[in-house]
Amino acid sequence: MACSKNQLQKIHRYMDEEMNDEEQKMLEEHVSDCGDCAAHLKEMRQTVAIVQSTSHFKAPDDITQNVMNQLPKQPPAKKGKVWLQKHPFMMTAATFFLVFIISLASGFSPDANQIAVQGEGQFYVDESNGVVIVPEGEAIYGDIRIENGDLNVEGEVHGDVTLVNGEHIQASAGGVTGEIEEINAFYERIWHHTKIFISDVFSLSSDTTEQTDLSIWF
């Protein structure tokens, strides 16, 4: 056994060929004086020599053929493509979903800070403050939808109000007879789009069933 832990560490570094010339010389000098360390180093070298003396084995001859027989018929790179070819429904669903996402994304267009108003009536848009104002004495009949702006009703709105990325500032005299819906957070917006989308699909399909029912009755 080496004479100290420190020397043992040095012997390992010597074995790993990590010493510079000076360190190497110092260790060699120490080993020539210290019997314990000399024995330890000798044993270590012998150990490595014994381990390295073991012969290399060759793999069994049939190993390549065994593996080649187990390879899948389809090249692995095309796995995904083949899977979709086998499942056309998933392909349709994936495409459909993609279109849906794109239409959603178009809602978040780059000119996102532009105020957009949908509705009919007398109002004016204060672009610098980002406010849509329905002035006092004016009344809007119908629904109104504002994107990227606040709404200040000083007059009257007879219909529903939808605010995307905006707030409703309630003025004392003004009033909204319908519902006010504020959609601000990103996920809320997605939910809102989904809701509209689903209600569209369902009203469409219920229309069709009604028609079908009628044709049966008459």
Partner 1 sequence: MDTVVKRIIANIKKGDQEAFAELMDLYKDQVYHIVYRMLGNVHEAQDVTQEAFLRAYMNIDTYDEKRKFSTWLFRIATNLAIDRIRKKKPDFHLEDNVPGTADLDYHSQFSNEDPLPEDQLLQLEMQEWVQAEIMKLPPKYRAAIILKYLEDLSLKEIGDILNLPVATVKTRIHRGREALRKSLGE
Stretch that binds partner 1, among 24-32, 70-78, 106-114, 118-126 (CB under 8 A): 70-78
List 20, 21, 33, 75, residue binding partner 1 (CB under 8 A): 75
The 3 state secondary structure assigned to 12-79 is: HHHHCCCCCHHHHHHHHHHHHHCHHHHHHHHHHHHHHHHHHHCCCCCCCCCHHHHHHHHCCCCCHHHH
Options 5, 20, 21, 56; binder of partner 1; rule CB under 8 A? 56
List the interface residues with partner 1, window 2-31 (CB under 8 A). Answer: 12, 15-16
- Give 179: exposed, middle or buried? Use CB within 10 Å, 0-12, 13-18, 19+: exposed
Separation of alpha carbons 170 and 150, rounded Å: 10
* Residue 54 sits in the site that holds partner 1 (CB under 8 A): yes
Residue 169: CB minimum distance to partner 1, A: 56
Supply the minimum distance, in Å, between the C-beta of residue 84 and partner 1: 17
What is the SS3 assignment for 125? Answer: strand
* 86 counts as binding partner 1 under rule CB under 8 A: no
Among 5, 60, 86, 88, binds partner 1 (CB under 8 A): 60
In 44-72, which positions are buried (b, 16+ CB within 10 angstroms) versus exposed (e)?
beeeeeeeeeeeeeeeeeeeeeeeeeeee
Residue 32 C-beta-side C-alpha neighbours within 13 Å: 6
Tell me if 81 contacts partner 1 by CB under 8 A. Answer: no
Judged by CB under 8 A, the residue of 6, 20, 70, 172 near partner 1 is 70
Of 4, 46, 95, 211, the one binding partner 1 (CB under 8 A) is: 46
Structure-token match 């949908």, residue found: 118
Which one among 6, 20, 33, 55 touches partner 1, defined by CB under 8 A? 55
Task: Give residues with Cβ within 8 angstroms of 14, minimum separation 6.
Answer: 24, 27, 41
- Per-residue CA distances from 15 to 3, 5, 32, 39, 125 (Å): 17, 15, 16, 14, 82
Binding mask 159-198 for partner 1 (x = CB under 8 A): ----------------------------------------
Question: Which residue of 76, 105, 204, 216 would you call a contact of partner 1, by CB under 8 A?
Answer: 76
Question: Under the rule (CB under 8 A), what is the footprint of partner 1?
Answer: 12, 15-16, 40, 43-44, 46-48, 50-60, 63-64, 66-68, 70-72, 75-78
